[in-house]
Amino acid sequence: MSMLVAQELTYRHAARSVLDGVDFSLREGEVLGIIGPNGAGKTTLLRLLAGLARPTRGKVSLDGTDIHRCTAAERARAIGYHPQQAVLHWPMAVAHIVALGRYAHGASLDHLNAHDHQAIAAALAHCGLEALAARRADQLSGGEMARVHIARLLAGEHRLLLADEPIANLDPRYQLEILKALRSHARQRGGAVVVLHDLNIAARQCDRLLLLADGRRVIDGAPREVLTAERIAEVFAVAPEYFHDMGIAEALNR
């Protein structure tokens, strides 16, 4: 059963077509990877799915309801969004930043119930941040801060997670840990849509892939269906040998 459905999503900005008639769906329990060259419309698509922008045409439905028929508070509880360049404006402790993920559920730093504390602790553990929980965020490395933002996302216990390049700037261990956490969320609570640039990781870690190019849907399906030598060469403007030289063929066979 499809929990998320995008129908004819079109978005124009300053007389330029950014997305043009994109259709796809996300089934319960899936992790969908969005891939494509720079400028393909990946980030814009994720913002439309989050309800942060309205499509020029088309609609996004979550569990059968148009997301723009929901209140902002209802969307915030149901949908968690991780932007490509997450920023922090206050030198707060790591645990307090992660606790902000509970805000949509009515929590605040001064009023956290037992379930809030449980969700925060689980998110810290998923992202390997227990030892850093009391440290101020402005004392962290870039990679550590990236994990804090993901932990805040996980703490929200949303039905749908949307993450734009969530493993950028992370070392291999934490790339795998973060994707494992997103997969675990999808299996237990609903689903996840993740923008990725590494095609090897996309092949190994996603249930399905949506390939965009020039604002249009090229194909979506199982990684083996989407990632072929010919299609990668055409869409990414690389030599056909790239498919084998970069280990994508091997990743698909695992």
The stretch 155-182 carries a mean pLDDT of 91
pLDDT of residue 143: 85
pLDDT confidence band for 41 (50 / 70 / 90)? very high
Q: What is the pTM of this model?
A: 0.93
pLDDT of residue 252: 85
pLDDT confidence band for 174 (50 / 70 / 90)? confident
Pairing of β 31-35 and β 57-62: unpaired
Gap between the Cα atoms of 169 and 143, Å rounded: 6
pLDDT digits (tens, 9 = 90+) for 83-99: 988 777 778 999 999 99
pLDDT of residue 142: 83
The string over 15-31, giving b where at least 16 C-beta atoms fall within 10 Å of a residue's C-beta and e elsewhere, is eeebbbebebbbeebbb
pLDDT of residue 165: 93
Neighbours of 144 (CB within 10 A): 19
User: In sequence order, what DSSP letters do the residues of 221-249 get, joined into one string?
Assistant: E-HHHH--HHHHHHHHT--TTHHHHTTHH
Gap between the Cα atoms of 3 and 186, Å rounded: 11
pLDDT of residue 11: 96
Are residues 29 and 187 in contact, defined by beta-carbon separation less than 8 angstroms? yes
What is the token pair recorded at 168? 């950028």
Gap between the Cα atoms of 79 and 62, Å rounded: 9
Residue 254 has pLDDT above 80, yes or no: no
Domains of the chain: 2-252 (3.40.50.300)
Average pLDDT, the chain: 92
What is the token pair recorded at 113? 């119930």
Gap between the Cα atoms of 2 and 220, Å rounded: 14
Closest to 99 measured CA to CA, from 131, 130, 129, 121:
121
The stretch 167-173 carries a mean pLDDT of 87
Give CA separation, 177 vs 23, 173, 182, 199, 248, in Å: 30, 6, 9, 17, 21
pLDDT of residue 69: 94
pLDDT confidence band for 67 (50 / 70 / 90)? very high
pLDDT of residue 138: 87
The more confident residue out of 240 and 206 is 206
Closest to 226 measured CA to CA, from 251, 240, 208:
208
pLDDT of residue 18: 93
pLDDT confidence band for 198 (50 / 70 / 90)? very high
